[in-house]
Amino acid sequence: MPAAKPIILYVDADACPVKQEVYRVAERFVLRATALKVVVVSNAPIAVPRADFIERVVVGSGMDEADNYIAERALRGDVVVTADVPLAARAVKAGAEAIAPHGKPFTEDAIGMALATRNLMSDLRSAGEITSGPKPFAPQDRSRFLSALDAALMRLTRAGFGKS
Q: For the chain, give the DSSP string.
A: ------EEEEEE-TT-TTHHHHHHHHHHHHHTT--EEEEEEESS-------TTEEEEE--SSTTHHHHHHHTT--TT-EEE-S-HHHHHHHHHTT-EEE-TTSPEE-HHHHHHHHHHHHHHHHHHHTT-----SPPP-HHHHHHHHHHHHHHHHHHHHTTTT--
142 belongs to a structural domain: yes
The pTM score is 0.86
Report the share of the chain in percent with pLDDT over 90. Answer: 67
- Residue 73 binned pLDDT confidence (cut-offs 50, 70, 90): very high
126 belongs to a structural domain: yes
Q: Which domain holds residue 145?
A: 7-157
Look at the chain and report how many structural domains it folds into.
Answer: 1
164 belongs to a structural domain: no
109 belongs to a structural domain: yes
How do residues 18-71 score in pLDDT, each as one tens digit? 999 999 999 999 999 889 999 999 999 999 999 999 999 999 888 899 999 999
162 belongs to a structural domain: no
1 belongs to a structural domain: no
2 belongs to a structural domain: no
At 31, which CATH number?
3.40.50
Q: Residue 107: is its pLDDT beyond 70? A: yes
